[in-house]
């Protein structure tokens, strides 16, 4: 049985400039409240009169059909592939009645996430607006909103509810006002069980099937505690974890998830969830462990290089996540790891047969960054005799912090390997996988694992069945 891994990551997907909100001072307030008919009332109040406004997140055209303008002196519609509000005369208010969209969007966060137990998570980023001088200025945008230098209005969202409200891991009574910073976060309204731990707050849907709901907070605790021990520090900002159930209907299991700064969230549904299933559990553990590793990787305010160098952080996050999950299994995770790495090996071979790792994104094989990057992270660990992968990352982060742009990129990766004692031949072996068109990727990856001391073993069909897995906890 193959262990299937689906990839949904929204991290660093959109380059929308952060709202320049001064503490306490906002350009706009958006009040959001449920109406009796099931729609929501959304009312904006602006500090200065506005002429034209573009929704900062307009890639998906869902508002045209679901947002009903209530202000008579304004117009609302799709212009230049953007959702735009235009005023007849500059105005300081506009309001809408909206249908809360709960369907998942392409490459953006779900606007409203319903929890099976009646709770609701609202994505505040959907309300962010970018001001323009006129409709003509919006029509003249050539390469989409990110190409425009204008920043979103500094905005606060106001929500009042009878149920508990939780934002940034903190419970709020009655009335919430929250600054929408950067991509924003999710605001949770409802009665789901909230469990506070030292390093994270978990909001787990009370309607999750018992086999999962009863254990998952404990699993998360194990994941965070394990990572704290292995990284040797605690996160400077508490994380928030959402696990929402969309119900046990529909074939199989489907899920979507993402990370927003320190918020990690996953929505699951499907009839396969009803019965205990190790693969479902592994998948959820993998998702949260992988995303949690990213929190540790970026805790010192370093940034990831995107695109061509994504193998660096995605690969290490997978190595660390799988290692952690395996360590919690009775047999040391032997079967689990065999299955995971057999898949990773084959996926990486297939991706490299079409070209080097640095261009997998262009070839729509982005997830090869996880698979090949994982094998590279294992090899990096193996090549560095005196350092574990965690210690390598400590140094990598330290080196990034000392640079002006604090970016974890390829140059820094190979320099750090060199500083820690990897030979030129070892670095070249990895560099070739990243940059060269390989004649025989299978051979190159096998050699990578062999020379790193991982002792790869294959069965008669050529499937990778075993490696000498590192045991970081014991090192």
* Minimum distance of Zn ion from residue 294's CB (angstroms): 5
What residues numbered 55-94 form the site for Zn ion, per CB under 5 A? Answer: none
Distance of closest approach, residue 301 Cβ to Zn ion, in angstroms: 18
Q: Cα–Cα distances in Å, from 105 out to 40, 83, 102, 129, 144?
A: 19, 15, 9, 19, 18
Nearer to Zn ion, 9 or 391 (CB): 9
Q: Kindly state the smallest distance separating residue 243's Cβ from Zn ion, in Å.
A: 18
Tokens of 361: 């994104």
Given the complex with Zn ion, which of 173 and 364 has the nearer CB atom? 364
Least Å distance between CB 369 and Zn ion? Answer: 9
Indicate the residue among 231 and 383 with the shorter CB distance to Zn ion.
231
Size of the site for Zn ion (CB under 5 A): 3
Least Å from the CB of residue 320 to Zn ion: 11
Which CB, 201 or 298, lies closer to Zn ion?
298
- Binding track, positions 310-339, relative to Zn ion; x by CB under 5 A: ----x--x----------------------
The piece of 2-10, 135-143, 219-227, 467-475 that touches Zn ion (CB under 5 A) is: 2-10
How far apart are CB 297 and Zn ion at their closest, in Å? 9
Which of residues 11 and 148 has its CB atom nearest to Zn ion in the complex? Answer: 11
- Rounded-to-integer distance, Cα 196 and Cα 80, Å: 45
Q: Cβ of residue 9: shortest distance to Zn ion, in angstroms?
A: 5
Spatial CB neighbours of 382, under 8 Å, sequence gap ≥ 6: 449, 452, 453, 454, 470
One character per residue 274-313, x = contact with Zn ion (rule: CB under 5 A) = ----------------------------------------
Q: How far is CA 432 from CA 266, 410, 428, 444, 452, in A?
A: 36, 12, 6, 9, 15
The gap between the terminal CA atoms of the chain, to the nearest Å, is 31
Token look-up 């990578």 returns 448
- Taking the complex as a whole, the smallest distance from the CB of residue 338 to Zn ion amounts, in Å, to 23
Considering beta carbons, is residue 27 or 314 the nearer one to Zn ion? Answer: 314
- Which CB atom, from 110 or from 319, has the smaller least distance to Zn ion? 319
CB of 183 to Zn ion, least distance (A): 16
With tokens 């560099």, the residue in question is 431
Closer residue to Zn ion, CB minimum distance, 9 or 185? 9
Residues 8 to 27: which contact Zn ion by CB under 5 A? 9
Question: Shortest Cβ distance from residue 88 to Zn ion (Å)?
Answer: 46
Beta carbon nearer to Zn ion, 124 or 314: 314
**Rounded to the nearest whole angstrom, what is the least distance from the CB of residue 259 to Zn ion in the complex?**
8
Residue 269 or 298 having the CB closest to Zn ion? 298
Residues paired with residue 42 on neighbouring β-strands, in sequence order = 32, 96
The contact mask relative to Zn ion for 141-180 (x = CB under 5 A, - = no) is ----------------------------------------
Q: How far is the CB of 285 from Zn ion (least distance, A)?
A: 15
Nearer of residues 320 and 349 to Zn ion, judged by Cβ:
320
Question: How many CB atoms sit inside 10 A of residue 200's CB?
Answer: 23
Q: Which lies closer to Zn ion via its Cβ, residue 11 or residue 135?
A: 11
Enumerate binding residues for Zn ion (CB under 5 A): 9, 314, 317
């Amino acid at each position: 049985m193959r262990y299937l891994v689906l990839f949904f990551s929204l991290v660093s997907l959109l380059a929308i400039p952060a709202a320049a909100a001064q503490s306490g001072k906002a350009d706009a307030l958006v009040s959001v409240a449920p109406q009796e008919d099931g729609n929501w009332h959304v009312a904006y109040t602006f500090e200065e009169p506005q002429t034209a406004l573009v929704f900062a997140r307009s890639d998906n055209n869902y508002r045209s059909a679901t947002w009903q303008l209530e202000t008579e002196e304004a117009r609302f519609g799709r212009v230049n592939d953007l959702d735009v509000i235009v005023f007849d005369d500059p105005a300081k208010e506009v309001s809408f009645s909206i249908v809360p969209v709960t369907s998942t969007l392409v490459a953006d966060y779900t606007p409203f996430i319903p929890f099976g137990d009646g709770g609701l998570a609202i994505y505040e980023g959907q309300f962010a607006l970018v001001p323009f001088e006129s409709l003509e200025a919006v029509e003249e945008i050539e390469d989409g909103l990110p190409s425009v230098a204008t920043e979103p209005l500094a905005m606060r969202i106001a929500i009042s509810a009878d149920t508990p409200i939780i934002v940034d891991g903190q419970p709020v009574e009655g009335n919430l006002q929250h600054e929408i910073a950067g991509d924003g976060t999710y605001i949770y309204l409802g009665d789901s069980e909230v469990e506070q731990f030292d390093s994270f707050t978990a909001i787990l849907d009370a309607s999750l099937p018992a086999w999962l709901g009863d254990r998952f907070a404990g699993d998360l605790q194990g994941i965070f505690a394990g990572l704290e021990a292995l990284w040797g520090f605690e996160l400077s900002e508490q994380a928030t974890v959402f696990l929402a159930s969309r119900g046990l209907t529909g074939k199989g299991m489907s899920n979507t998830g993402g990370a927003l700064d320190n918020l990690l969230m996953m929505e699951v549904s499907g009839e396969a969830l009803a019965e205990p299933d190790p693969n479902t559990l592994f998948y959820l553990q993998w998702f949260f462990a992988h995303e949690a590793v990213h929190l540790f990787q970026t805790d010192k305010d370093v940034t990831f290089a995107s695109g061509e160098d994504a193998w660096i952080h995605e690969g290490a996050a997978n190595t660390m996540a799988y290692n952690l999950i395996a360590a919690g299994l009775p047999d040391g995770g032997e079967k689990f790891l065999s299955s995971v790495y057999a898949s990773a090996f084959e996926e990486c071979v297939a991706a490299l047969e079409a070209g080097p790792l640095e261009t997998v994104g262009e070839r729509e094989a982005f997830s090869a960054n996880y698979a090949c990057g994982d094998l590279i992270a294992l090899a990096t660990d193996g090549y560095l005799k005196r350092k574990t992968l965690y210690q390598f990352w400590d140094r990598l982060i330290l080196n990034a912090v000392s640079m002006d742009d604090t970016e974890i990129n390829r140059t820094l990766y190979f320099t750090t390997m060199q500083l820690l004692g990897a030979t030129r031949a070892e670095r070249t072996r990895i560099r070739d996988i990243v940059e060269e068109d390989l004649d025989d990727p299978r051979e190159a990856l096998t050699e990578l694992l062999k020379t790193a001391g991982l002792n790869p073993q294959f069965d008669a069909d050529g499937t990778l069945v075993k490696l000498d897995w590192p045991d970081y906890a014991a090192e």
